[in-house]
Amino acid sequence: MKTIDDLDVSGKRVFLRADLNVPLEGTTITDDGRIRAVLPTVRKLAEAGAKVIVASHLGRPKGAPDPRYTLAPAAARIGELLGKDVAFASDTVGESARETVAGLGNGGIAVLENLRFNPGETSKDDAERGAFADSLAALADIYVGDGFGAVHRKHASVYDLPARLPHAAGGLIAAEVDVLKKLTEDVRRPYAVVLGGAKVSDKLGVIEHLLEKADRILIGGGMAYTFLKAQGHEVGKSLLQEDQIPAVTDYLARARERGVEFVLPVDVMAAAGFPDLETKAPANPVAAPADAIPADLLGLDIGPESRKLFASKLADARTVFWNGPMGVFEHPDYAEGTRAVAQALVDNPAFTVVGGGDSAAAVRILGFDEKAFGHISTGGGASLEYLEGKTLPGLAALED
């Protein structure tokens, strides 16, 4: 896989596929982590004299313009962070895009409107997707892929466009792949994996694959209750995927056979209902044993004894991968489990990887220094699929 160091970009129009899929409240960006992550590549291309055309998706519009998902705030934020003017095209391949690109000088930067405003970007029809890729290719001379959060998607700007232009990986994708190789090849042991989030079904593939690689798997978040139920425990009104109990039971049995340690919560913080995430009003949680959650309560975070247990199981690890919060971290009454895991990673000199998504958001929301972790991924879904052993379309398209 070539990198931008292998390219001569001076005076060339470089299509940079980034991941600017940032959370918005109205037009306010609430977490600019993904923008900051791609800035080194933007800056490097501009300083090398490229005409940089930044493109991305944001949200899930229905293949048509939707002002809720405009990339205008992201374009403005890039300009603020770089301290220079950044042009913005109000469409993706139309008149505004063509005129904006034509107006770029060497070292200039422009951002195209949301790629998903065009139905060809996400189409499952190869011809429709290819036609959109042709239109994008007409804007540029070179393609650089640096939107790691989208490389698991077979979309026009991720998969089809690189085939139409000389291409290379940006610095962010190169770094992400290097980190993921350290999690799958010649891993330093003990290797501990922490998985959380709402649904166990979202993590089945990665659990399957990690049974072959990890020494220890810690389970928290909403998905933990399906594991607890599979062990015959009462989980009250907690989130439960009963249809996944057979698969979970099988994983627990296979883990015992392989000597892989599964660590589940021993207590939880529970309440009668879901907390108000807008007002953050006190939720009055109560601690309950994980093997006997009262029938009228639902678990919303791991409890104090589980926090100690999880921290102890991470203390001696030399490699740690974490994906998914331990509870409803957006509410202060249920953030302590996620905080405890993040702190355990900070305290450990091991190679620690935060696997994107809500985990990365939690690290920033809870006030941790991002530099205290070995790596914070920009792509939760892409990281998981890589660890599942899947071929990621966007990475395959960048290979020579």
Q: What is the pLDDT of residue 341?
A: 97
Q: What is the pLDDT of residue 186?
A: 82
Q: Which residue has the higher pLDDT, 249 or 31?
A: 249
Q: Which residue has the higher pLDDT, 47 or 377?
A: 47
Between 3-17, 146-160, 337-351, 358-372, the lowest mean confidence (pLDDT) is in 358-372
Q: What is the pTM of this model?
A: 0.88
Cis peptide bond upstream of 190, omega within 30: yes
Q: What is the sign of the dihedral through the CA atoms of 186, 392, 35 and 363?
A: negative
Which residues participate in catalysis according to the annotation?
34, 199, 357, 381
Q: What is the pLDDT of residue 326?
A: 97
CA angle 330, 335, 337 (to 5 degrees): 140
The pLDDT of 78-92, averaged and rounded, is 97
Calpha distance 219→261 (Å, rounded): 11
Residues in the annotated binding site for ATP: 203, 299, 330, 356-359
pLDDT, tens digit, 9 for 90 and up, residues 152-178: 999 999 999 999 999 999 999 999 999
Q: Which residue has the higher pLDDT, 86 or 365?
A: 86
Q: What is the pLDDT of residue 52?
A: 98
Q: Does residue 400 register a pLDDT over 80?
A: no
Residues in the annotated binding site: 19-21, 34, 57-60, 116, 153, 203, 299, 330, 356-359
Q: Does residue 380 register a pLDDT over 90?
A: no
Calpha distance 100→87 (Å, rounded): 7
Q: What is the pLDDT of residue 237?
A: 96
pLDDT, tens digit, 9 for 90 and up, residues 352-371: 999 877 898 899 899 999 89
Confidence of residue 284 (pLDDT cuts 50, 70, 90): confident
Q: What is the pLDDT of residue 378?
A: 86
Calpha distance 286→268 (Å, rounded): 8
Calpha distance 21→201 (Å, rounded): 24
Q: What is the sign of the dihedral through the CA atoms of 367, 372, 378 and 382?
A: negative
Q: Does residue 36 register a pLDDT over 80?
A: yes
**How many C-beta atoms surround the C-beta of residue 356 within 10 A?**
24
Identify each DSSP E strand in 210-340 by its residue range.
Answer: 216-219, 261-263, 267-271, 286-289, 298-302, 319-323
Rg (the chain; Cα; Å): 22
Alpha helix ranges (H) inside the chain:
33-47, 72-82, 95-102, 126-137, 171-184, 204-210, 224-230, 245-258, 304-315, 336-347, 357-365, 380-387, 393-396
Q: Are 334 and 269 in contact (CB under 8 A)?
A: yes
Q: Chain-wide mean pLDDT for the chain?
A: 95
Q: Are 307 and 337 in contact (CB under 8 A)?
A: yes
Q: What is the pLDDT of residue 142?
A: 98
Calpha distance 137→49 (Å, rounded): 20
Closest residue by Cα to residue 74 from 93, 94, 95, 89: 89
Residues in the annotated binding site for substrate: 19-21, 34, 57-60, 116, 153
Q: What is the pLDDT of residue 228?
A: 97
Q: Does residue 388 register a pLDDT over 90?
A: no
pLDDT, tens digit, 9 for 90 and up, residues 222-255: 999 999 999 999 999 999 999 999 999 999 999 9
Q: Which residue has the higher pLDDT, 181 or 144?
A: 144
